[in-house]
Amino acid sequence: MRETIDELVKETIRELNEDLNEAALECPDEQTPLFELLDSMAVLDFILGVEERIQQRFGRYVQVADETTMDASATPFKSVGSAVDFIMKKVQNDG
């Protein structure tokens, strides 16, 4: 499951980066920072992109955002790895 979520997240990042042209997001890995590289609109686009990919892959909607999403100190989207872990728990808990 983690591999699948990891690929969904990285696909979404690569798609977003077509507009952002952020060198650090060209080949994202577990340590790639997200929250500090994405503005608020890009964070929302990231969340929507991941939710869409989850729905396509698993056939159900899973809400990825919560009250910590835009909180710089508590966001689960600090890095690719933390985002993958958070999203995987959401998919497992909503299933």
Report the SS3 class of residue 79.
Answer: strand
Calculate the dihedral angle through the C-alpha atoms of 49, 92, 78, 81, rounding to the nearest 10 degrees: -100
CA distances from 67 to 3, 27, 38, 63, 73 (A): 26, 29, 18, 12, 12
- pTM equals 0.92
Q: Which CATH number fits domain 2-90: 1.10.1200, 2.30.30, 2.50.20, 2.70.98?
A: 1.10.1200
The tens digit of pLDDT for each residue in 39-84 reads: 989 999 999 999 999 999 999 999 998 888 888 888 999 999 999 9
Nearest to 12 by CA among 66, 48, 57: 48
Q: Domain locations in the chain?
A: 2-90
